[in-house]
Amino acid sequence: MTAFRLSMLDERDSAAIGHLLSQIDGATILDSTGNLIRTGVHLKYSAKSNDLVPEHKGTRHTSAKRFSYDHPNTLVITVSEDGPVTVFSDGASLVDLKVSHSKQVGELLEKMAPGKNEGVTHSSIEVNCELCGKASMIEEVKVTGNEEMHEANCPVCNNTIYSSRCFALEAHSFKRLHPRHRFRDKAKKLIMPHL
């Protein structure tokens, strides 16, 4: 087995990791410090988890949920084709993270007129709130000829953190992890099934 020497917590590796994950089917195993261990893994679960843990959405989510039941020291993260991210542990869904509405609107508008979408732009901007200091990701969609003044509020304290003339604007919580940050429970592993 070849070592990847890539870390999910190192932004310099993000392009290589994104490309790698888009080319391989199955799960990707990460260690507790965010380093890639293996890709293309198919999650197998026990007959007991099959009997106890009901189906959840599709095959990917069901496998992740049942696998997390069998391996309680593991977090399993699934990424759906349409964007939502689900985190499983101990056979249960801990959280569902949705793709922002503005990002979906921008992508939809770009697909509606292929080759003629110069007037549609989507951008993401990281902004820190001046009042509470928390970071947010701003999703902005601009459509030439269809722009009004919009404001985005901090998801923590509701302070206005960004305004723009655009088609759609949205702010959501965001946290940037740096390589020096480590997970507290070294026994936990992250497993990320991907597309």
Which pLDDT score is estimated for 165? 93
pLDDT > 50? residue 130: yes
Distance of CA 9 to the CA centre of its chain: 13
Which pLDDT score is estimated for 184? 43
Q: Which amino acid does the sequence have at 45?
A: Y
pLDDT > 70? residue 143: yes
Query: pTM of whole model > 0.85?
Result: no
pLDDT in tens, 74-124: 888 887 766 678 888 888 888 777 666 666 666 666 666 555 556 788 888
Which pLDDT score is estimated for 87? 84
Which pLDDT score is estimated for 180? 45
pLDDT > 60? residue 189: no
Q: Distance between CA 170 and CA 3 in Å, rounded?
A: 39
Which pLDDT score is estimated for 66? 93
Q: Are 8 and 18 in contact (CB under 8 A)?
A: no
Closest by CA position to 59, among listed 42, 74, 34: 42
Closest by CA position to 8, among listed 194, 177, 183, 188: 177
Q: Distance between CA 138 and CA 124 in Å, rounded?
A: 5
120's torsion region: left (phi>0), alpha (psi -120 to 50) or beta?
A: beta
| 161 token code pair | 């953190």
Find residue 160's DSSP bridge partners: 153
pLDDT in tens, 23-78: 888 888 888 888 888 888 999 999 999 999 989 888 888 999 999 999 988 888 88
Quickly tell me which residue has 């597309």 as its tokens.
195
Find residue 138's DSSP bridge partners: 125, 171
For the chain, which residues make up each domain, given as ranges?
11-98+178-194, 101-173
Which pLDDT score is estimated for 22? 78
Could you tell me which residues come within 8 angstroms of residue 22 by beta carbon, excluding any fewer than 6 positions away? 194, 195
Q: Distance between CA 151 and CA 160 in Å, rounded?
A: 7
Q: Distance between CA 11 and CA 166 in Å, rounded?
A: 29
pLDDT > 60? residue 186: no
Q: Are 194 and 60 in contact (CB under 8 A)?
A: no
Q: pLDDT-based confidence at 190, cuts 50/70/90?
A: low
